[in-house]
Amino acid sequence: MATTLMRNTAPREHPGRYYGFMAAVAVGAVVIAALTAAQAGSPDTGWFSAPFALWLTAGLALFAELRPARWAGLGMSPIAMISLTYVYSTMVTWGFVPALIVQSAAMMLLYVQLGASLWRSVFNLSQIGIALCAAWWTWTGIAGGEWTASLTQVAGLLAAGMVWSVVSTAQVSLAMKMRAGGSWADHFWAWFRSEWALRATLTAISPLLAVAASTSWWLVAVSAIPIFSVYRILQTAARREEQAERDPLTGLLNRKGFQQAVEAKLVDAGETNTAVTVMILDLDRFADVNSALGHDVGDKLLLELADRFLADKPLGKQIARLGGDEFAFAWSELDGMTDPLECAREIRARLDKAIVIDDVSIEIDGSVGIVVYPDDGKDFQTLFRHADIAMDESKKRAGSYARYAPEFDHHSPERLILLGDLRRALDHPDAPGVNLFYQPQVCLATGEVIGAEALLRYHHPERGMVNPAEIIETAEHSSVMRMLTERVVDIALRQLRCWNDAGYRLRMAVNVSVRDLQSPEFTDYLTERMDAYGVDASRLQLEITESALMADPRRVVDNVQCLSDLGLGISLDDFGTGFSSMQHLRRLPVTEIKIDKMFVTTLIDDPDNAAIVSSTIDLGRALDVAVVAEGVEDEKVRKQLEDWGCHAGQGWHFAKPMSADDFDRWLHLHRGNS
C-alpha cells in the first residue's frame, strides 16, 4: 500500500477509464479554479506590492518541499506536505490565486523529486487544486474578508483545512478504487485514519502563521522554528522506521525491508503485466570462515561482499541481507531487468575473485535460487519460499544457480497428498495400487534373456498411473521411501522365485534410492527376504543412480560395500548423466555399468553420443565390468551395440516394461522364437 500514491503505472483493467478519470479531474480543476479565481478577484494587498512577510511565507512553502519530509506513519502517502500550512495562511492573508500558485509550485517541486510521471503530477496538482478551491469556498462562506484573526476567521480557517483534506482524500480514494479495487469508503477511511493527526497539526499551525504573516516578516521567520521542529520530528521518525528495515552490519535492507520493497514491486508489476525476479544467494561454508578465522573476519567478508554487490552496476534495485550468510536481490522488468538467468550469473560473477582480509585470501562460493513473478508465485511469501527451495536445489546439485520448478518442492500440497495416499497403499501388504512391471534385459550376442529390471508402477485411485520418477522424488525425503523399497524388494524377490520355479534362470535388477543406501538396516532386510524366498544373492542386481551417491558418499559407499560382500551385483544406473561417474567406478564395487538411454537412443544419428557409448563399452571392458545399454529402441542400435561388444541391452526394441503375467507370456514366445 505504501507506494500507491507514488506509482507511475496505470491499472491493467480499464486503463482507459482510469486515465479518463484523471483527465476529468484535470479539466474540472481548470474550470473550478478559473471560476474561483474570478470570484476571489485580485488580492487586496496587490500582486507585487504585497508586504515582504507574505513573500517570505510563499518562499518558505517552497523551501519546505526542497527536501520533503518523509511521513513515517505512512498509510498511503509517504510525504508530509509541510508546505500546506503556508498555503493555508497565504490563502487567508494574500488571497486565493497567490495560494494556488504557491501550492502548485511547492507540489511541482515535490513531484519532480519523487520522479512522478507527467500524468500523475498533473492529476495530483489538479486534485489538490480542487481541494484548495473547496477550502477557499469554506473559508469565504464562514468568514472571509481581511485577516484579523477573529474567532470566526480562525474557525473558518480550521474548517477550510479540514475540507481541503476531505476533498483531496475523496478524489484520491476514487483513483485508488479504480486502481486496486475495493470500496471507496474503505480507501477513504484507511487514508483518513493514517493522515488525520498530521493534517490536523498542519491546519492548526496555519492561523498562527497567518497572524505572523499579517504582522511582520520576522514573526514569520520565528514561526518557521516550530514548523521546522515538526519537520525534524517527522524526519527522525522516518529515519528510525528506515533503520528498522536495514541490516545494521551492511546497511543493506533486512528481511522486513526487502519484503516491503518487493511487495511494492509486485503491485506495480501486477498492474503493468510485467515480471519481477527475486533471488536468494546462500554462501557455501561461511560457518567454516567464522569458526576458523573468527567472527570479525566473517563480518568483514560480508561487508566486502555487500560492497561488491553495490559497486559499479548495483545488482538489482533491492539488495538485502537476510541474516547470516544469505543475501536477496530483486529486479523488475520496470527497472530494466530482462533475463533472470543473466542476473544470476552477474551475482555469481561477483563471487569469482577471492576476498583478501588481513592478508588471508578467502575463496567464496554460493548457490542462487531464482523465482520469477508471476510464473513462480503471485505473492511475496510464495515467491520467497520457492526461491529458498530453488536455492536448496542448486546447492544439492552443486550447481551455481537454479530456477524454481514445482518438482523441487517436496512439500507442495499435491505431493503431500500423494505421499499420504502412497503410505496408505503401503500400510497393508495386500492393499492394491503398488506393483511392479518388468522389462527384459537381453544378451546382445546370443539374444538370450538374461534377466529383468523391476520398475515401480503405482496406480493412484484418482490420478491413475503416476510417473515413477515423481513418486521416488516425493517419497525419497520421507520414511515412506523405506516402506516403498521394502515392498518393491519383496515383490521382486517373490517374482524371481516364481521364475526360478518355472525353470527360468533369470536375474532381477531392482532400483534403490539414496535413502535406502544410507541405512545399514536395508542390508539386513534384503538378507532376510532373500532367505525367506530362497533366492541366491547372485541373482539380484541393485541399480544405483549417481544422484544417490552424491548425498552422503562415505555412508553410502560403506553400505554398498556390505551389499556387494553378500554377493549381490552392483549396477551403476544412468551412467554418464552425473558429475562423477568415473570416481564412483573407482570407489564402488561395481559389477555393471548401465549406459543412460539419453546416449543410446540417438547414437545412430548423433556422432557425439555414439562416441560416448562406444568408449563406455571400451571402459567396461578395460575394467572388467559388464555393460548394459538402456533405451535400445530399434534394430540398428541393437546391431551397433553388439558390434561394439556391449553385453546386454534393454529397451522398447525387445519389450516395454510389462506386468508379471505379460512378461511370462512374452518370455514364452521369445524362447520359442530364439
Q: Which does 209 bind (CB under 5 to 8 A by kind): Mg ion, ligand C2E, none?
A: none
- Closest residue to ligand C2E in the complex (CB): 651
Which of these segments, 185-193, 208-216, 466-474, 511-519, binds Mg ion (CB under 5 A)? Answer: 511-519
Here's the x/- map for Mg ion, 561-580, by CB under 5 A: it reads as ------------xx------
Please spell the DSSP secondary structure of 401-468, one letter per residue: EEE--GGG-TTSHHHHHHHHHHHHHHHSTT-SSEEEEEEEEEETTT--EEEEEEEEEEEETTTEEE-H
Query: Residue count at the site for Mg ion (CB under 5 A)?
Result: 4
Query: What whole-number distance in Å separates Cα of residue 435 and Cα of residue 459?
Result: 8
Q: Which does 468 bind (CB under 5 to 8 A by kind): Mg ion, ligand C2E, none?
A: ligand C2E
Here the contacts of 102-108 (C-beta below 8 Å, separation 24 or greater) are: 102/58, 102/61, 102/62, 103/61, 103/128, 103/129, 103/132, 104/129, 105/61, 105/62, 106/61, 106/62, 106/64, 106/65, 107/65, 107/81, 107/83
Report, in Å, the least distance between residue 356 CB and Mg ion: 46
Report, in Å, the least distance between residue 434 CB and ligand C2E: 9
Pairing of strands 401-403, 366-373: parallel
19 vs 533, beta carbon nearer ligand C2E: 533
Q: Show the cell assigned to 192.
A: 483518513
- Could you count the other beta carbons within 10 Å of the beta carbon of residue 216? 14
Q: Which does 91 bind (CB under 5 to 8 A by kind): ligand C2E, Mg ion, none?
A: none
322 vs 442, beta carbon nearer ligand C2E: 442
93 binds Mg ion (CB under 5 A): no
Q: Which does 455 bind (CB under 5 to 8 A by kind): ligand C2E, Mg ion, none?
A: ligand C2E
Cβ atoms of 663 and 670 closer than 8 Å = no
Query: What whole-number distance in Å separates Cα of residue 163 and Cα of residue 555?
Result: 76
- Secondary structure element (H or E) that encloses residue 353, with its range: none
318 vs 485, beta carbon nearer ligand C2E: 485
Report, in Å, the least distance between residue 16 CB and Mg ion: 57
Report, in Å, the least distance between residue 543 CB and ligand C2E: 6
513 binds Mg ion (CB under 5 A): no
Q: Show the cell assigned to 102.
A: 504557491
Pairing of strands 540-545, 569-575: parallel
Contact positions with Mg ion (CB under 5 A) in 424-453: none
CA angle 351, 356, 359 (to 5 degrees): 165
Query: What whole-number distance in Å separates Cα of residue 38 and Cα of residue 137?
Result: 12
195 vs 574, beta carbon nearer Mg ion: 574
Pairing of strands 366-373, 569-575: unpaired
Which residue from 62, 60, 69, 72 is spatially nearest to 195, judged by alpha carbons?
A: 72
Report, in Å, the least distance between residue 295 CB and Mg ion: 47
Cβ atoms of 443 and 664 closer than 8 Å = no
Report, in Å, the least distance between residue 334 CB and ligand C2E: 43
268 binds Mg ion (CB under 5 A): no
Q: Which does 513 bind (CB under 5 to 8 A by kind): Mg ion, ligand C2E, none?
A: ligand C2E
CA 302, chain centre distance (Å): 22
**At what angle are helices 151-180 and 118-142 packed, to 10 degrees?**
150
Which of these segments, 59-67, 233-241, 535-543, 665-673, binds Mg ion (CB under 5 A)? Answer: 535-543
Q: Which does 456 bind (CB under 5 to 8 A by kind): ligand C2E, Mg ion, none?
A: ligand C2E
Sign of the alpha-carbon torsion through 238, 241, 246, 252:
negative
List residues binding ligand C2E (CB under 6 A): 439, 455-456, 468-469, 472, 488, 511-513, 543, 545, 573-574, 597, 601, 630-633, 650-652, 657
Burial class (CB in 10 A: 0-12, 13-18, 19+), 515: buried
Report, in Å, the least distance between residue 548 CB and ligand C2E: 8
Report, in Å, the least distance between residue 529 CB and ligand C2E: 14
Report, in Å, the least distance between residue 415 CB and Mg ion: 22
**At what angle are helices 286-293 and 295-310 packed, to 10 degrees?**
140
Q: Which does 633 bind (CB under 5 to 8 A by kind): Mg ion, ligand C2E, none?
A: ligand C2E
546 binds Mg ion (CB under 5 A): no
Query: What whole-number distance in Å separates Cα of residue 35 and Cα of residue 40?
Result: 9
Which of these segments, 66-74, 143-151, 539-547, 559-567, binds Mg ion (CB under 5 A)? Answer: 539-547
Report, in Å, the least distance between residue 333 CB and Mg ion: 41
376 vs 453, beta carbon nearer ligand C2E: 453
Query: What whole-number distance in Å separates Cα of residue 443 and Cα of residue 613?
Result: 17
Report, in Å, the least distance between residue 468 CB and ligand C2E: 4
65 vs 630, beta carbon nearer ligand C2E: 630
543 binds Mg ion (CB under 5 A): yes
Cβ atoms of 516 and 481 closer than 8 Å = yes
31 vs 469, beta carbon nearer ligand C2E: 469
Q: How many Cα atoms are found within 13 Å in the side-chain-facing hemisphere of 356?
A: 1
Report, in Å, the least distance between residue 651 CB and ligand C2E: 3
282 binds Mg ion (CB under 5 A): no
Q: Which of 511, 513, 523, 609 binds Mg ion (CB under 5 A)?
A: 511
Report, in Å, the least distance between residue 491 CB and ligand C2E: 9
CA angle 104, 109, 111 (to 5 degrees): 90
Q: What sections of 41-95 are H helices per DSSP?
A: 52-64, 83-93
Q: Which does 362 bind (CB under 5 to 8 A by kind): ligand C2E, Mg ion, none?
A: none
Report, in Å, the least distance between residue 632 CB and Mg ion: 12
203 binds Mg ion (CB under 5 A): no
268 vs 574, beta carbon nearer Mg ion: 574
**Count of all residues that appear for the chain in the document:** 674
Q: Which does 617 bind (CB under 5 to 8 A by kind): Mg ion, ligand C2E, none?
A: none
Sign of the alpha-carbon torsion through 362, 580, 514, 390:
positive
Q: What is the CA radius of gyration of the chain?
A: 38
270 vs 576, beta carbon nearer Mg ion: 576
60 vs 548, beta carbon nearer ligand C2E: 548
- Closest residue to Mg ion in the complex (CB): 543
Q: Which does 153 bind (CB under 5 to 8 A by kind): ligand C2E, Mg ion, none?
A: none
77 φ, ψ (degrees, to nearest 5): -105, 125
367 binds Mg ion (CB under 5 A): no
Report, in Å, the least distance between residue 525 CB and ligand C2E: 14
> What is the binding site for Mg ion (CB under 5 A)?
511, 543, 573-574
